[in-house]
Amino acid sequence: MTQAPAKTSYDVVIVGGAMYGSSVAWFLTDNPGFDGSILVVERDPTYEFTSTSHTNSCMRQQFSAAINVKVSQFAADFVKNFRDYMGDDPRVPDVALQSYGYMYLADNEAFAATLRESQKVQAANGAGTKHMTCEEIAAAYPFYNLDDIIAANHNLVDEGYFDGNTLFDWWKRSAKERGVEYLTNEVIAMNRNAAGTKVESVILKSGEVISCGTVVNASGPRAVLTSRMAGIEIPVEPRKRYTFIFEAEKPLERDLPLTIDPSGVHMRTDGTYYLAGCPPDDDPAVDYDDFVQDHSIWEEKVWPVLATRVPQFEAIKLRNSWAGHYAYNTFDQNAILGRHTEVENFIFVNGFSGHGFQQSPAMGRGTAELIAYGEYRALDLSPFNYERIAKGEKFIEKAVI
Ligand SMILES: Cc1cc2nc3c(=O)[nH]c(=O)nc-3n(C[C@H](O)[C@H](O)[C@H](O)COP(=O)(O)OP(=O)(O)OC[C@H]3O[C@@H](n4cnc5c(N)ncnc54)[C@H](O)[C@@H]3O)c2cc1C
């Protein structure tokens, strides 16, 4: 069932109301340079099939690009000082952040060299990453089988799991209380001006035509469908990612860091259970509505890796599993932000691939600054701008999961 909007014109129309739609909306309400009207259009207010509902909600500082390190550092600061950031509202809870770190395992010299290089970038930007020898890993985490491993990078500061859904819930709630209108409806088309330089209005599934000053594409894996409404192509497609929750007959003596196995399988502590995930070997774009689980991936790929890397995981029970969609940036796997180069009032918050949850505070804040002031202020996010796509210049991030 669709809802009708209260007005026929808004300063900002946001297409999609999950993590990114709500982050941008809330940061706009919090920005002293902006006092305009905001409409968030959400086609499914249950959020059942969103990336946001299927996330693993991990946070790391182990990126190869300095700006990605800084983006995640703001996430850690935002999480640790959440109530302060939310206006010191006494109703706002503390947000869990479990810093058991990521453990990138290298089984060859080339990847070990990449890890050494990344560690230097991260340390230079204030991250606590340590490059570890095999002996150091074994001493700290005796449960790993390290037969094929030669080195690792690990960081125990502000890196691990965080409760990102609490951020989402409170951004949405607070944005609504501050006057943002959330509408259950779907944007199905857009009208541009005669010169093609501006989206003048969006058309809702229920037929209304809504004028807009700025339109923000926060449509997750459907981002390309939304951008096409404005005549814009972006390299973003839905890619399936599988998550498995399992219980170990004999739990490990200490938290399992989010371990990136050379096979591509990752695993971590998840409360009293454990979580594992991976991409499929064959990784095509999938249908927007295809969330079918492939159980052979658990049997044939994930479980054998778990049992080999952590012999104590020989005896485990699968407790839950799901398939979700990354909004996968096929061009360079980094976020796409900023204004379109020709359709000037069309703004992207897209293509976050597997690291969008932790990037939502910095990217939401920056996008709000861009709308309010015409520039990024707290952190220069311009390396992520759409412009690079138009120019064909990749912004490479080597640490993509
Ligand atoms: C399995 C998995 C694990 C992940 N793990 C991590 C992790 O550990 N750490 C991390 O940082 N990130 C992780 N991510 C990524 C992170 O979850 C996403 O980047 C983030 O949730 C994206 O949020 P979003 O708002 O852009 O997209 P979504 O959550 O997909 O929301 C898009 C919204 O737009 C709406 N919409 C689309 N089109 C329209 C339209 N035309 N009209 C109205 N509404 C529309 C949709 O209904 C939806 O609600 C993971 C993702 C997956 C799938």
CA angle 337, 342, 327 (to 5 degrees): 30
Main-chain dihedrals φ then ψ at residue 33, nearest 5 degrees? -85, 0
186 CB under 6 A from ligand 1? yes
Cα separation, 103 vs 260, in Å, equals 6
Ligand 1 centroid, distance to 167 Cα (angstroms): 14
Topology annotation, domain 9-57+164-235+331-391: FAD/NAD(P)-binding domain (3.50.50)
Contact 182, 42 (CB under 8 A): yes
E strands, 16-135, are: 38-42, 58-59, 97-98, 102-106, 130-133
**Pocket-testing residue among 2, 56, 62, 229, ligand 1, by greatest number of atoms within 8 A of Cβ:** 56
Provide the 8-state DSSP code for 192. E
- Ligand 1 atom closest to Cα of 220? 27
Ligand 1 centroid, distance to 144 Cα (angstroms): 33
Q: Hey, do 9-57+164-235+331-391 and 98-156+238-329 end up sharing a CATH topology, with the first three levels equal?
A: no
47 CB under 6 A from ligand 1? yes
* pTM summary value: 0.98
Tens of pLDDT along the chain (401 residues) come to 899 999 999 999 999 999 999 999 999 999 999 999 999 999 999 999 999 999 999 999 999 999 999 999 999 999 999 999 999 999 999 999 999 999 999 999 999 999 999 999 999 999 999 999 999 999 999 999 999 999 999 999 999 999 999 999 999 999 999 999 999 999 999 999 999 999 999 999 999 999 999 999 999 999 999 999 999 999 999 999 999 999 999 999 999 999 999 999 999 999 999 999 998 999 999 999 999 999 999 999 999 999 999 999 999 999 999 999 999 999 999 999 999 999 999 999 999 999 999 999 999 999 999 999 999 999 999 999 999 999 999 999 888 87
**Pocket-testing residue among 202, 219, 360, ligand 1, by greatest number of atoms within 8 A of Cβ:** 219
pLDDT tens digits along 293-328: 999 999 999 999 999 999 999 999 999 999 999 999
Could you tell me the CATH superfamily of domain 98-156+238-329?
D-Amino Acid Oxidase, subunit A, domain 2 (3.30.9.10)
Pick the closest to residue 277 from 292, 256, 261 (CA basis): 261
Ligand 1 centroid, distance to 52 Cα (angstroms): 4
Q: Where are the domains of the chain?
A: 9-57+164-235+331-391, 98-156+238-329
pLDDT tens digits along 201-228: 999 999 999 999 999 999 999 999 999 9
